[in-house]
Amino acid sequence: MDAGYSVRALARSASFDYPSTHSGQAATQDDNDVEIVEGDLLRVGDFARALEGCRYLMHCAALYSFAPADRRALHDVNVRGTAGLFEAARVAGVERAVLTSSSATLGASRDGRPRTEDDYAQDGGSGYHHSKIAQERAAFAARVPVVALLPTAPVGPGDAKPTPTGRLVLEFAKGKIFAKPPRGGMNLVPVEDVARAHVTALQRGRTGERYILGGDNLTLDEVWTLLSAVTGKKMPAWRAPVALALAIAYADEARARLTGTRPFVPVEGVRMSRELMFAGSAKARRELDFQPGSVTGALERAVRWYRAHDYC
């Protein structure tokens, strides 16, 4: 809206069982003059007509979960839902689309080199990372011009669900982190900068291209140090051995499978914590004028938001 666009936004339905009168048209209008369309990516046909009259599509919706119970839904939402949405966009005459992909599609920096847009993770498994690789393929296979954005780990206010990254911040703020992780690393980026880059990509991104949206490459020890500073919680002194962390994760996932709940220590997350998930944003800086701000400031805003909304 600030960039001068009218916005018609998809809001996920509270239930998959739509009333028979549901047309998929803009149902409500909020205080910021955003048209709200109720729908779900599992049933694109129910809201497909709402794409009529839209010149552009900004596809940010995805299921971000490491829970074993969600693995089938990860494919259904992230891959099948994307393919259906982009086909509906083609039929509606959408001119251009921006896909929110993920740096998870790049793989780990096992050679010590931050990953670039030319890198792809090994295509295997059935979890979140695999679903994002398949999602990209589905988007680029669609007959709509597509620009793909690959955020690293966005942090900042408003992560209400929260995502696995937000949960890390929240658990640290609650004082529930008792051990240092294995010696891996990740890239953190302020979520507000990622949002702004989506508008720039719509205007200036080259179709058929991928752009990494990253901030600072940090070892996990450095992330823990930043979290300790912004939350006021003590830095854990003990480091969890990888073998122990994996054993706990497998046991927790077994519990999650039996109970149908989410794991507290997901195996996919522990495996990632052993790797350097570093990435470079030179291409986005050059072509999209992407200039990410302070990661420390973003973590501070995240913690303030969680505390202001009684999460901790």
Q: What is the mean pLDDT of residues 282-290?
A: 98
Question: Which pLDDT belongs to residue 126?
Answer: 63
CB 214, CB 187: distance < 8 Å: yes
- Over pLDDT 70: what percentage of the chain? 92
Q: Which domains does the chain have, with CATH numbers?
A: 53-308 (3.40.50.720)
Residue 2: how many other CB atoms lie within 10 Å: 6
- Over pLDDT 90: what percentage of the chain? 65
Question: Which pLDDT belongs to residue 261?
Answer: 79
Q: What is the 3-state secondary structure (H, E, C) of 81-144?
A: HHHHHHHHHHHHCCCEEEEECCHHHCCCCCCCCCECCCCCCCCCCCCHHHHHHHHHHHHHHCCC
Buried b / exposed e along 19-32 (16+ C-beta atoms within 10 A):
eeeeebebeeeeee
CB 281, CB 295: distance < 8 Å: no
pTM confidence score: 0.88
Question: Which pLDDT belongs to residue 124?
Answer: 61
The pair of three-digit structure tokens given for residue 298, joined into one six-digit string: 């973003």
User: How does residue 271 score in pLDDT terms, banded at 50, 70 and 90?
Assistant: confident
